[in-house]
Amino acid sequence: MSKVLKDKVVVVTGGGRGVGAEIAKLAALEGAKVVVNDLGGSETGEGGTLGPAQEVVAAIQAAGGEAVANGDNVAFWDGAHNLIADAIKAFGRIDGIVNNAGILRDKIFHRMEEAEWDAVIAVNLKGCFNVARAAAPHFKQQNSGAFVHMSSTSGLVGNFGQVNYGAAKLGVAGLSKNIALDMEKFNVRSNAIAPFAWTRLVGTIPATPDNERRLELAKQMTPEKIAPFAVALLSDSAKDVSGQVFGVRRNEIILFSQPRPTRTVQRADGWTPESVLEHAIPALRASMYKLDRSADVFCWDPI
């Protein structure tokens, strides 16, 4: 094994289960010292125990690696800063962040409560900001570092019943891109991944006649399929890759487009509501996007 992360220190949030656990274990196999952060709570973010994080640490140590467990809540500023402080206390520095922690509280929009919105935004979006912000001064000082943030096609494309989750995950893509811009001069890079994998969160989606086959296909997309790409992005060999949004779908690696103008219309004398309706919208309509869901866009079977 090439040990692409030899002597690196990597923090993985939500590292006690699923995608995060597989990334943590592979990072350790590739030579990193790993801080496994996980509250050990339910899919909705309730309850918690350090047990899952400790289990991943034990697996890493049994394989000859170095790791410590951390149970701080990244949804809070102080929790994220305590996490980074623990990493530096344990291993002396910080080189990579995998912002993977997430929860679901799915509900169709007209029934969604404020608490369901706030909780998902706090973990999935603000949590990414908190951890990245806590690590940023250390990255700046050492003139190096890498962020990998987990986005989702629920935000990049869209899904039913996931207004809170989709908004957070699209926000993660924007957060990642703007971190990349702000931190470029310090040789710090930031990328986002939309992972396709069967996890506890995906397992909460109820099976219906419409999505039964899709869920069966999702079970084939195991979390360990995500880990190699995430680990690669943390390595020095990917130092020229920043500000990108990727997807990993079983054995496929996807580069997503980013919003850019596709068509414009203009009038020398400006617009009125009537001229917008008569000319602008008809001219733009052919280039408008359908109300696609993730499954509509990714309609082929994973290989």
- Catalytically active residues are 165
Rounded to 10 degrees, the C-alpha dihedral 197/122/157/252 comes to: -30
Amino acid of residue 274: E
In angstroms, the CA 137 to CA 128 distance is 15
User: Between the CA of residue 154 and those of 118, 134, 164, 215, what are the distances in Å?
Assistant: 17, 27, 10, 15
Q: How far is CA 212 from the centre of its chain?
A: 25
In angstroms, the CA 205 to CA 159 distance is 11
Secondary structure class of 164 (helix, strand, coil): helix
Q: Give the DSSP per-residue string, 221-259.
A: S-GGGTHHHHHHHHSGGGTT--S-EEEEETTEEEE----
How many other CB atoms sit within 10 Å of the CB of residue 35? 28
Secondary structure class of 33 (helix, strand, coil): strand
Rounded to 10 degrees, the C-alpha dihedral 200/297/289/194 comes to: 40
Tokens in use for 93? 């520095």
In angstroms, the CA 102 to CA 86 distance is 21
Amino acid of residue 103: I
Facing residues of 254 across strands? 247
